[in-house]
Amino acid sequence: MKKVKITLVSLIILIFLHENLEGQQYKYKKVSVELLEKKECDIQLDAPAMVTNKTGLREIVYSESSGFTAILSQQTQVKFFKGDAKDIGTVEIYYYSPKSSSNKVKMSDIKGKTYNLENKKIVETKLSDDNIFHVQFNNYYKKATFVFPNIKDGCVFEYESVLTSDYFANIEDWFIQDEIPVLYNQFTLKIPEYFRYQINILGGFAPTSDEISSSSRSINYKVVYEGQGFKGRQVEHETFNMNYSNRTLIHENLPSFIPEPFTANQYDGKSKITHQLISVAFPNSPTQTFAGTYEKINSELLEDESFGEIISDGKFIEKLVSFSGTETSIEKANLIHQYFLKNVKFDGSNYYLSDKGGSKLFKEGTGNSGEINLNYIAALNHVGIPTSPVILSSRGNGTLHPVLPDYSQFDYVVALSIINDKEVFSDAASTLPFGNLPKKCLHDKGWVVSKTNARWVNLKQNCSGKQIIQTNIIQTKEQILYSSKINKFNYFAYDDLDAINANSELDFLRTFHQEKDLIQDSIFITEKTDKVLKLKEHHNQAVVDDDFIYVKPFIHLPFDSNPFKQEERQTYVDFPYGMEYKFVSNIKILDGYNYEVPANLNAVMQENDLILKYSSSYIAGIKTLTVIADFKIIQTEFSPLDYEKLKFSLDTMINKLNEPVILKKI
410: nearest Cα among 279, 271, 277, 306: 306
80: nearest Cα among 152, 27, 15: 152
| CA distance between the termini of the chain | 78
- The answer to whether position 7 is within a domain reads no
Q: Please tell me the predicted confidence (pLDDT) of residue 573.
A: 94
Statement: residue 27 has pLDDT above 50 = yes
- Considering the domain architecture, whether residues 469 and 403 belong to the same structural domain is answered as no
- Considering the domain architecture, whether residues 222 and 83 belong to the same structural domain is answered as yes
- The answer to whether position 2 is within a domain reads no
Last residue of a domain, which of 289, 318, 348?
289
Assign residue 142 the CATH number of its domain.
2.60.40.3140
- The answer to whether position 63 is within a domain reads yes
Give the integer Cα–Cα distance in Å for 637 and 168.
Answer: 34
Q: Which domain holds residue 406?
A: 294-458
Assign residue 385 the CATH number of its domain.
3.10.620.30
Residues 333-339: contacts with CB within 8 Å, 24+ apart?
A: 333/380, 333/385, 333/417, 333/419, 333/424, 333/426, 333/434, 334/434, 336/376, 336/379, 336/380, 336/383, 337/376, 337/426, 337/428, 337/434, 338/434
- Considering the domain architecture, whether residues 60 and 73 belong to the same structural domain is answered as yes
Statement: residue 281 has pLDDT above 50 = yes
Assign residue 622 the CATH number of its domain.
2.60.120.1130
Give the integer Cα–Cα distance in Å for 584 and 470.
Answer: 5
CB 373 within 8 A of CB 384: no
DSSP labels for 21-35?
A: TGGGGSBTTB--HHH
CB 536 within 8 A of CB 524: yes
Give the integer Cα–Cα distance in Å for 90 and 127.
Answer: 11
- Considering the domain architecture, whether residues 416 and 511 belong to the same structural domain is answered as no
Q: Which residue has the higher pLDDT, 237 or 58?
A: 58
Q: What is the mean pLDDT of residues 151-165?
A: 95
Classify residue 230 by burial, with Cβ atoms within 10 Å: 0-12, 13-18, 19+.
Answer: exposed
Last residue of a domain, which of 399, 432, 458?
458
Statement: residue 345 has pLDDT above 50 = yes
- Considering the domain architecture, whether residues 496 and 626 belong to the same structural domain is answered as yes
Q: How does residue 457 score in pLDDT terms, banded at 50, 70 and 90?
A: very high
Statement: residue 102 has pLDDT above 80 = no
Q: What is the pTM of this model?
A: 0.84
Last residue of a domain, which of 427, 458, 489?
458
Q: How does residue 229 score in pLDDT terms, banded at 50, 70 and 90?
A: low
- Considering the domain architecture, whether residues 507 and 567 belong to the same structural domain is answered as yes
Query: Sign of the C-alpha dihedral, residues 315, 318, 321, 323?
Result: positive
Statement: residue 13 has pLDDT above 70 = no
Give the contacts of 303 (CB within 8 A, at least 6 positions apart). none
Give the contacts of 158 (CB within 8 A, at least 6 positions apart). 28, 29, 31, 75, 76, 77, 78, 112, 113, 115
- The answer to whether position 1 is within a domain reads no
Q: Please tell me the predicted confidence (pLDDT) of residue 224.
A: 63
- Considering the domain architecture, whether residues 396 and 282 belong to the same structural domain is answered as no
- Considering the domain architecture, whether residues 226 and 345 belong to the same structural domain is answered as no
- The answer to whether position 107 is within a domain reads yes
Q: How does residue 21 score in pLDDT terms, banded at 50, 70 and 90?
A: very low
Q: Please tell me the predicted confidence (pLDDT) of residue 228.
A: 57
- Considering the domain architecture, whether residues 520 and 493 belong to the same structural domain is answered as yes
Other CB atoms within 10 Å distance of the CB of residue 401? 15
Give the integer Cα–Cα distance in Å for 411 and 353.
Answer: 9
* Number of domains into which the chain is organized: 3
Q: Which residue has the higher pLDDT, 616 or 4?
A: 616
- Considering the domain architecture, whether residues 312 and 233 belong to the same structural domain is answered as no
- Considering the domain architecture, whether residues 540 and 596 belong to the same structural domain is answered as yes
- Considering the domain architecture, whether residues 427 and 522 belong to the same structural domain is answered as no
